[in-house]
Structure 1
Amino acid sequence: MSKRSLPLSKVYGLLEPGPVVLLTTAHKGKINVMTMSWHTMMEFEPPLVGCVISGRDFSFTALKATRQCVLNIPTAELAAKVVGCGNTSGRLVDKFETFGLTPLPAALVGAPLIAECYANLECRVVDTRLVNRYNFFVLDVLKAWIDPACKDPRTLHHRGQGVFMVAGETIKLPSKMK
């Protein structure tokens, strides 16, 4: 078997961390939603999620100021809206209105849930030590919501350069983890 060198800019597509999420924030009377795929689980219980948000993003300022957000997990049916949110700045448009998303009040944070997403995770920032250097926030999931009617969610996974993979077949193998 022969191998060829892969440009380092393509590594992201090999290690994508999980489903694309829609991160919502609320700051100074304005709600916003951004598309994010740079996140990782850091701990199981309590659930901690690490995420990278560019300092250029409108949501960066809101998250840094309020230390609250919601990670909304869409299914493949929302792909066009997910991409639209990712290609639009919240500084210029109301993404909820533009892309037909419905904000719902959260129980424990000021940022809204997105009704159309099958799962929603209310979060607060618990560690900002890596924000100045890497734009890396650590989020504590305070409350999780799930749509019980969505039995087999097919999530989007960003492979880079506008390419997505949709979660497919589920397999179950023996595991000693609980």
Structure 2
Amino acid sequence: MKTLHPSKVYQMLEPGPVALLATAQDGKANVMTMSWHMMVEFEPPRIACIVSGADHSFTALRETGECVIAVPPATMAERVVEIGNCSGREVDKFARFHLDSHPAKLVAAPLIAGCLANIECRVIDDSLVDRFNLFVLEAVHSWFDPALTGVSTLHHRGWGEFALDGEIIRLKSRMR
């Protein structure tokens, strides 16, 4: 065993696929790339996510209390990274990156076409936002694109490095 520098821990604990977080505030939609998220409950589905206070999306999420988490396929990797490398303060990201949006059922933030899943969420706990920028969301409605079943997702490994999910194996489980 060798010592691992603390800055590399994220690369070992990557939480899941890179996602897009869409918000809408005052009629204006925005989208950001998000890697720091995790499930915290299955039913109802609850998701914890970190949105930096420096991000344009932070204010919209905090003020509206709702968003859409979209899971893009790996084929969108370059667009996803570019979305994360600019700010919605200066750019209409939906226009710049040719993202097709559709109205959500229960929240004002838009669904993003071409993604494997779109999860409409409401903030249910913001008690850790001031300290850690951590929002706890509850999924209130979700969508999936059956045409994209089985496609790879993108996983952030830190500092511009990504992995694609791979072979799926099934093992006996007592959990349902």
Deviating beyond 2 angstroms after TM superposition, the runs of 4 or more aligned structure 1 residues are none
Matches within 5 A, 1:8-157: 8-157=6-155
Q: How many residues align?
A: 176
CA–CA distance in structure 1, aligned partners of residues 41 and 89 of structure 2: 33
User: Equivalent residue of 1:149, what SS?
Assistant: helix
Q: Secondary structure at the match of 1:40?
A: strand
CA deviation string 1:101-135 (max 9, x = no partner) = 11110000000000111100000000001001000
Where 2:2 maps in the other structure, the secondary structure is coil
Q: What RMSD, in angstroms, separates the aligned Cα atoms of the two structures?
A: 0.6
TM-score (norm 2): 0.99
Alpha-carbon distance in 2 for matches of 1:74, 1:151:
12
Q: Please give the alpha-carbon distance, in whole angstroms, between the structure 1 residues aligned to 2:35 and 2:84.
A: 10
User: What is the CA–CA distance in structure 1 between the aligned matches of 2:4 and 2:129, rounded to whole Å?
Assistant: 29
Q: How far does residue 28 in structure 1 lie from its aligned partner after superposition?
A: 1.5
- Counterpart Cα distance in 1 of 2:23 and 2:148: 25
Q: Is the 8 A contact 2:121 2:140 kept in 1?
A: yes
Deviation of 1:151 (Å): 2.3
Q: Percent identity?
A: 57
Distance in 2 between residues matched to 1:150 and 1:95, nearest whole Å = 23
The runs of 5 or more residues in structure 1 that have no matched partner are: none
**Equivalent residue number for residue 165 of structure 1:** 163
User: Partners in 2 of 1:156 and 1:12 — Cα distance?
Assistant: 15
Per-residue CA deviation, residues 30-80 of structure 1 (Å, 9 max, x unaligned), is 100000010010000000000001000000000000000000000100001
The answer (yes or no) to whether the contact 2:116–2:149 under 8 Å persists in 1 is no
Shift of 1:164: 0.5
In 2, the alpha carbon distance for the partners of 1:154 and 1:11 equals 24
Ranges in structure 2 where 5+ consecutive residues have no aligned partner? none
2:141 counterpart SS class? strand
- Helix, strand or coil for the counterpart of 2:130? helix
**Equivalence for 1:175:** 173
